[in-house]
Every structure is written in C-alpha cells, then in structure tokens.
Structure 1
Amino acid sequence: MKVLTAADVRRTVSMPAAIDAVRQGFLELAAGNFVLPARQIFGDGAVLVMSAYHSPTRTAVVKKIGINLDQVPAIRATVIWTGAGEQLVADGTSITTLRTGAVVGVATDLLAQPDATRLTLIGTGAQAADQVRAVLAVRRIATATITGRKPDRATALAKALATEFPTVTFTPTTSIDDAIATADIICCATSSSIPLFDVAALPQTVHINAIGAFRPTMRELPRDLLATADLVMVDQREAALEECGEIIDALAAGVVQESELLELGTALTTKPKPTGRTVFKSVGVGCQDWSIAKALAEP
C-alpha cells in the first residue's frame, strides 16, 4: 500500500497535469463510465463521504471529508484509491484543493474569453491559491486582484502568489465591487450564505467560477446573475440540484430551468461558444478525486 502526504501529492501532480486529468475524468463521466453514488452527509455537513467507481478499469476512490469552517484549514480529508491489486492512501485535503482548482481550470478554458488577462479572486481560504493557479494555467493573466474580509489575509496571499508567479501583478483589496468591475474572470471561493455582489457590479462580458457554496443554505452568486447569464454550467446536474444553494434557489424562483443547466462533460464533447456573462458552479463530484488519485497511483 502506498501512503502519500500532502507534499507527495503536490510533488507528483502539477496543476496543468491535474487539469488534464480532471478534463479526462469528466469525459469519462459523460461517456457513462462512472458509478457515482450520492454524497453521504453527516452532522449537517460536518462529515462528507464521496465515492466513485470507474467501470472500465474496475478502479475506485473513496474520500472522507471533515469540515469545520471555524478552523484553518476548514477541510481535512483522506482519500483511498483501490486498483488492480494495489491500494493508495493519500492526504485528501491537498487532493481536494487541487482537484477543485483543476475543475475551475477546465471550465475557465471552455468559457472564459481567449484573451482574458484580468482575474479577480474572492476569498482567501485554503481553496483560494489553487483557484489562481488553475486560471493561470489556462489563460495569460497579467493582473490579479485578491479580495477578502480580512485585509491581512488578502495581503499575505497576494504576496505569496506574487512570489510564485512573478510576471503577474497581484493587488489585495477589501472592496469586492471595485475588484470585479473590470475583471475578465472571477473566482469565488468563500463560505458565504448570502450573495457576494450585485449583478449590476459585473462587466457585461465576464466568466465567473463559484466553488465555495456546497450546501443548499449557502450562496455566493446572486439569483439575477443565474437568471440573466448567457450560459450556466455545472459539474453534474444531479449534484447541483441536490447541494447547490444558488441553483436550488434559482430553480425554485423559476428564473432558471433544469434543462438550461449545461453539464461540464457535455460541454467538453460539444464545446459551447460563450458570449457575455458565463457561470460555472461546482459542488464537486467523485470523478474529480478519482482523476487525481489515478494520476498519483499511476504516475
């Protein structure tokens, strides 16, 4: 049995490699090659269990996640991969942030304008840095604005990312409206229960990723954005209808129809031609964890 630490995960799978792996995972999902049981939720979301079985290879992954939004990191997880005569146990926290960043990279590559150069990140928690790394892997970003409730954390994250990406100008701020006013791409990675901004504050052409809200009671995006966006994409329709607060709210209000939600796997097989405002909403599905675990088990 192979046991991998967080450092092992990062050393083995780069962000570009993770994006490629997750892209292939969603193509496999679209082809019907996964069995994805519904996510098990315990203690009002304090503990989650996710699993995925890939039928062609008879490989499977199980992830146990503990969530405490009052601690840092808020997510602590363990991943178990089972293959043909082999088993891998790996730090699931690093896999979760890596695969969540990777799916944003896949979505951004599909929906953001090819000449996008301005990124805004809302949120400074454990998921934040990989959101930036993923977007920078698929677009030539020149400027990135980091905004969060705590100025010191926004400043610290901006400094750390500037060291990692010296050709990009990083600017910390506490004003979300100022940060999104001229953005080409926006990444939301918060635990907010209310929308982070009004739709009127957005540029007419912008791509928005939202990965922070993973419970029906949570919201990052305003209802009006989902109602008026040119395209709304989700990682998996079934998961979004079960867990995504913004999608559940918009459907209940009748401003979005279930048939209008484009699944990521479908978009990869029949690529859309995005215009105006586009949205990618992710709650995370097991094929993402499988994709990263496979890259770790079979480097």
Structure 2
Amino acid sequence: MTMPAAIDAVRAAFVGLTAGEFDLPPRHAFGESRSLVMAVHHRPTASTAVKVVSIEVERDPVIAGTVVFSHPDGQFAADAVPLTTLRTGAVVGVATDLLADEDADQLALLGAGAQAADQVRAVHAVRPLKKLVVFNRNPARAEALVEGLRDELPDTVLDVAVNADEAVAQADVVCCATAATVPLFDVGALKERVHVNAIGSYRPVMRELPEELLASAEVVVVDQVEAALSEAGEIIRAVRSGVLKLESLVELGAALGNPPLRQGRTVFKSVGVAVQDWAVARLLA
C-alpha cells in the first residue's frame, strides 16, 4: 500500500465523516490510556473497523494491537502497528497538503520513534522535500532514522539538529511525533509562515506545542473537536486558559470542504480517530 493511496483514502474518509456517513463513538481508554479501543461504522458500505491497542512508551514499538475490519463479504484482522503509523502519516499528509504553502520543501521532524518515518513519507508525498532536519532526545535514534530514509530520499538533504529550536528554525513544515509533556520548542524559533503538525499527545497530561503558537495561529485544525477536547493536552490547556477559543477550532473534514487561507502559522493537531483506521483497512479488503 502506498502513502499517496492512504492519503487519498483518509482524505475521503474525513469528507465522509463531515457528511454524516459514519457512526463514530468516543474512543475508550483504560489504565491511564495505556489500552485503547476504537470503533467506527460506515453506513454506506455497512463496514466496520475496530482497533484494540496497548501503548507502552518505553517499549519498541510503543504500540501493539490488532485491527479487525468487517464488511458484508467477510472480515479480516491486521497488525495495528504498520496500519497505525500509515494512517497517522496519511492524515498528516492530508493536513499538510491543505495548509502548507505549495512551495514548502523543508521539513523539521521532532521525534524519531515508530511514527517518524511515515510522517516524513506523508509530507514528502504532498510537498517534495529538499531538506529534512530531525531532532530526537537520543541523537543516535535521529541518526538511525536519517540513514534509514536516505535511499528513499536521494534528492533530499538530510540532517540532524542538536536541539528542537534549531530544527524548526528554517522549516516550512514541522511534524511533532513524541511523548512530550512539555512544549518541544519556543514559538519564537518558528518562521512567520509555517505549518505545524502534532500527533504525539493523546492524554491530557501530554503536550508538544507551545500555548503561544495555538494563541497566535491563523487556524487550528483538529481531526475531531470532541476527541481533541478529551485527549489533546495542548488543546485542553489552551482552551481552559482562554488563549484558544473553542469556537475557533476547525475539524479537518470541514476544512477540506472550505479550505482556510494559507497564511501565517497554521496548526494541525491529531489524536487519531477510527475513521483513519477504517480508511486504510478498507484498502486491504
């Protein structure tokens, strides 16, 4: 399965979500969000995807689990790890294609874990990269990621930064894929025109983005407002403090139907919703 195909599938799924095609109950979280159950039903095709995962930050890979896809002709099960990294990359590709400048070609990636490579592949699929800069708290992991991507990105300059502020300083697009509980960078380190994706936080205590970025961004897009307000630490904190107005949050499906202007700093925050799993699993059916 190619990243462009996954991006197209996830884009269509979010348009369908906004059109009311899906039954999407809230995600169930157990044991301080170390076990998650996500389900979705697509009424037009009578198909259902259910994912059960465990998350251990110190484990490699962090995620372990299974996706079951059911449809009128049968069902199958798939490993949740590659499907999750692919669908998470794909939604970042959708958001980047929507919100980043058409000539954006420099990516800063913060984090070098299991999600990292598909974040790069997704951005590269919609904005061919001339330069990639990676920062990770463990420099060896950043170096290993860069080396692993070298053959895939032969025309891209690949580099490792010594800190997050250095990594984002010249970036047109920033991707955050960490388990951070405090913001990763200073808002002043960003260019005045930049698009930032954040997919790491999925619990209220986790944060990757500085509050000042959310307060000053031209637009803040989320995969689903309900999910963001219950799980995305940076969104929850910014709304509670009043620097981010609840009514200013835009869901991805709505933004696809009415694209915002590409100007200033734009943000996409994703906690992941089951329509993404359904969209990628359906490609396997």
Superposition pairs of residues 209-228 of structure 1, within 5 angstroms: 209-228=197-216
- Give the one of 219, 240, 259 matched to 1:271: 259
Structure 2 residue aligned with 1:175: 163
Counterparts of 1:202 and 1:256, CA distance in 2: 19
Amino acid at match of 2:180: S
Answering whether residue 11 of structure 2 is matched by residue 29 of structure 1, we say: no
Offset, 1:41: 0.6
Structure 2 residue aligned with 1:9: none
Alignment length (residue pairs):
285
Answering whether residue 187 of structure 2 is matched by residue 199 of structure 1, we say: yes
Counterparts of 2:244 and 2:123, CA distance in 1: 27
Structure 2 residue aligned with 1:72: 60
Superposition pairs of residues 233-252 of structure 1, within 5 angstroms: 233-252=221-240
Structure 2 residue aligned with 1:208: 196
Counterparts of 2:213 and 2:70, CA distance in 1: 41
Amino acid at match of 1:30: T
Offset, 1:85: 2.6
Structure 2 residue aligned with 1:113: 101
- Give the one of 5, 9, 14 matched to 2:2: 14
Amino acid at match of 1:159: E
Structure 2 residue aligned with 1:62: 50
Counterparts of 1:85 and 1:200, CA distance in 2: 54
Amino acid at match of 2:280: I
Is the 8 Å Cα contact of residues 231 and 274 (structure 1) preserved in structure 2?
no
- Give the one of 40, 47, 70 matched to 1:82: 70
Amino acid at match of 2:99: L
Counterparts of 1:173 and 1:162, CA distance in 2: 16
Is the 8 Å Cα contact of residues 207 and 278 (structure 1) preserved in structure 2?
yes
Amino acid at match of 1:288: Q
Counterparts of 1:135 and 1:120, CA distance in 2: 11
The CA deviation string for residues 1-49 of structure 1, in whole angstroms up to 9 with x for no partner, is xxxxxxxxxxxx1101000000011011010011111101111111000
Structure 1 residue aligned with 2:37: 49
Counterparts of 1:281 and 1:43, CA distance in 2: 23
Is the 8 Å Cα contact of residues 150 and 174 (structure 1) preserved in structure 2?
no
- Give the one of 285, 289, 292 matched to 2:273: 285
Answering whether residue 140 of structure 2 is matched by residue 152 of structure 1, we say: yes
Answering whether residue 260 of structure 2 is matched by residue 257 of structure 1, we say: no
Counterparts of 2:162 and 2:18, CA distance in 1: 40
Structure 1 unaligned residues grouped into runs of 5+:
1-12
The CA deviation string for residues 59-105 of structure 1, in whole angstroms up to 9 with x for no partner, is 00000011000110001120000000310100111100000000000
Is the 8 Å Cα contact of residues 124 and 154 (structure 1) preserved in structure 2?
yes
Counterparts of 2:142 and 2:281, CA distance in 1: 31
Structure 1 residue aligned with 2:220: 232
- The worse-fitting range, judged by mean Cα deviation, of 222-231 and 160-169 is 160-169
Counterparts of 2:251 and 2:262, CA distance in 1: 14
Structure 2 unaligned residues grouped into runs of 5+:
none
Amino acid at match of 1:54: H
Supply the RMSD in Å over aligned alpha carbons: 0.7
Identity of aligned residues (%): 53
SS at match of 2:41: strand
Counterparts of 1:29 and 1:59, CA distance in 2: 14
- Give the one of 110, 128, 135 matched to 2:116: 128
Counterparts of 1:99 and 1:137, CA distance in 2: 14
Offset, 1:174: 2.5
Amino acid at match of 2:210: P
Counterparts of 1:218 and 1:175, CA distance in 2: 20
Is the 8 Å Cα contact of residues 36 and 53 (structure 1) preserved in structure 2?
yes
> Displaced runs of 4+ in structure 1, greater than 2 A?
none
Offset, 1:173: 2.0
Counterparts of 1:174 and 1:82, CA distance in 2: 46
The CA deviation string for residues 109-128 of structure 1, in whole angstroms up to 9 with x for no partner, is 00001010111000000000
- Give the one of 90, 95, 120 matched to 2:83: 95
Structure 2 residue aligned with 1:190: 178
TM-score under structure 2 normalisation?
A: 0.99
